[in-house]
Structure 1
Amino acid sequence: MDIKKIKPSETWKIRHEVMWPDLPFEFVQLEEDHSGLHFGVFEKEKLVSIVSCFITEDEMQFRKLATLKEFQGKGIASVLLQYILDLAKEKKLSKVWCNARTHKKSFYEKFGMMATQQNFIKEGQEFTIMEVLL
């Protein structure tokens, strides 16, 4: 398993397939992608998991953490999330946060992330803003 920096366009196929398969492909292309840091996990040179990070002042938001269905449940997203948390610490950021699908909160809690009181619904999915102070 290798983690590498990737181009924004390399994230789109997995974002679409895993997160929003019923919506147009363009839906997963974020306006701010060009200003983010994007990382991918490769298994035998196949891109299997992705995440996009956006740093503003001393905070980092990560978005679109996704792993191909056939590679889920193997700890790949956990390794990738720990990688970006370590990156945030190296950069001496004070907070990392995300908009987590509410039914996935327990995954993020394993990394010390706490649910805030902020919830919202997007395209029929319920989200909770989660954060960890570093």
Structure 2
Amino acid sequence: MWPEKDLDYVKLKDDDEGTHFGLFEGEQLIAVVSLFVNGEEAQFRKFATLISHQNRGYGSRLLSYMLGEAERAGVKRIYCNARSGKVSFYEKFGFTVTEHTFTKGGKDYIVMERFFGAS
């Protein structure tokens, strides 16, 4: 996700409160995502796939699995901070763009959300 940064750059104070998912190919960890549930709302963060394994469907498989777990946990709304260039990827999974945007580490982000179940 941030290969040019130290590992501490991606650590968050509430990491121990999340559920962390990984997708392996053999013994190699190739994709990760962390889910943070707060009642009926959740955020996923730290979604990344090794550059050498991108565009092969691994991230899509992991995201689909994590979304299923979130829904089974009773989450009604899930959101993420999507890099601006990845909006179309998240739209394939039912996410929509919100009006919230920001910049971090020189990268532009858009908050995207998805609702589960009947509205």
* CA displacement 1:21-73 (0-9 Å, x = unmatched): 23332111111111100000010121110001101111110001100111111
Instruction: Please tell me the root mean square deviation across aligned C-alpha atoms, in Å.
Output: 0.9
Query: What CA distance in whole angstroms lies between the structure 1 residues aligned with 2:70 and 2:21?
Result: 13
Query: What CA distance in whole angstroms lies between the structure 2 residues aligned with 1:21 and 1:69?
Result: 10
Count of residues in correspondence between the two structures = 116
Return structure 1 stretches of 4+ with deviation > 4 angstroms: none
Query: What CA distance in whole angstroms lies between the structure 2 residues aligned with 1:56 and 1:84?
Result: 15
User: What is the match of residue 72 of structure 2?
Assistant: 90
Runs of 5+ unmatched residues, structure 1: 1-18
Q: TM-score, normalised by structure 1?
A: 0.83
Q: Where do 1:1-134 residues align within 5 Å?
A: 19-134=1-116
The structure with the greater share of residues assigned to helix is 1
Query: What CA distance in whole angstroms lies between the structure 2 residues aligned with 1:28 and 1:110?
Result: 26
Percent identity between matched residues is 44
Query: What CA distance in whole angstroms lies between the structure 1 residues aligned with 2:8 and 2:40?
Result: 30
